[in-house]
Structure 1
Amino acid sequence: MNHSVQHKVKITIQGKIVTATLDNSKTSKDFISLLPLQLILEDYAKTEKISNLPKKLTTEDAPIGSKPLVGDIALYAPWGNLAIFYKDFHYANGLIVFGKIDTGIEIFKVPASMKAIFELLE
């Protein structure tokens, strides 16, 4: 299996386009299977935007935890939610990073909730 394959995702927020690159993990592929997807991203701990997903993503073959950096897209397995980090955070068990924001991370750095549409770019 080729783990270097990457998937590009377009995230539309308030008419602005943010792009992201997802890895080739099983968690990432499970997320991609949900696209297109509209989510409300809520601010959490002035560090990340989080949203519940319509179903739990697989954690098969995933690390037991991660130390997220700015721009990381992750699954927090204990809650089953998506997290997009706009600040670095400490290591957390159950946090599975499966992508990275390429451009436009600053749009997330506001305290408000926001509607986001996630779509796969061909």
Structure 2
Amino acid sequence: MNIQVTIDGQPVDATLNDNAVARDFASLLPLSLDLEDFHQTERIAYLPRKLDISGAPDPAPVKAGNLAYYAPWGNLALFYRDGGSASSDLIILGHLDIDTERLADAERITVEAAP
């Protein structure tokens, strides 16, 4: 599923994976969220509610540009650096086509269904 993402006023191409958790995330759209840095690896934002993680895909290592959901905290994560080993708590929702250095400084994100 293609989505429209705007980061600090600049549009970015993005795609959601075809899994139940990504579809639940899509049901929240449109969203406008403030971002904060976490471990100099990702930008995070808290969603208005936790996502249903039943039917989550198998864990996979996180790569720069991934859009992910951290289930224990209920937050969205936009990775600007690779995130290390796979974890069942971190569900990859999709991917942003962005220069990861630009993502490292992002302060606000808007996510909408693609027109």
Fraction of identical pairs, as percent: 40
Q: Is the 8 A contact 1:8 1:121 kept in 2?
A: yes
Segments of structure 2 that go 5 or more residues without pairing to the other structure are none
Structure showing greater radius of gyration is 1
User: How many Å separate the matches in 2 of 1:104 and 1:11?
Assistant: 14
Partner of 1:115: 108
1:1-122 pair list within 5 angstroms = 7-63=1-57, 65-91=59-85, 92-110=87-105, 114-122=107-115
| Distance in 2, Cα, partners of 1:59 & 1:89 | 20
- Kindly tell me the number of residue pairs found equivalent between the two proteins: 114
- The runs of 5 or more residues in structure 1 that have no matched partner are 1-6
State the 1:65 CA deviation: 3.4
Aligned partner letter, 2:94: G
Structure 1 residues 63 and 14: alpha-carbon distance in aligned structure 2, compared to 1, 3 A threshold: closer
- TM-score w.r.t. length of structure 1: 0.85
The question of whether the paired residues in 2 share the 8 Å contact of 1:18 and 1:104 is answered with no
Question: Equivalent residue of 2:52, what SS?
Answer: coil
- Structure (1/2) with the larger strand percentage: 1
SS at match of 1:28: helix
Kept after mapping to 2: 8 A contact 1:19/1:104: no
Q: Which moved more, 1:7-16 or 1:50-59?
A: 7-16
In the TM superposition, what is the alpha-carbon distance from 1:104 to its structure 2 partner?
4.1
Give 1:64 deviation, angstroms: 5.8
After TM superposition, which residue ranges in structure 1, 4 or more long, deviate above 6 angstroms?
none
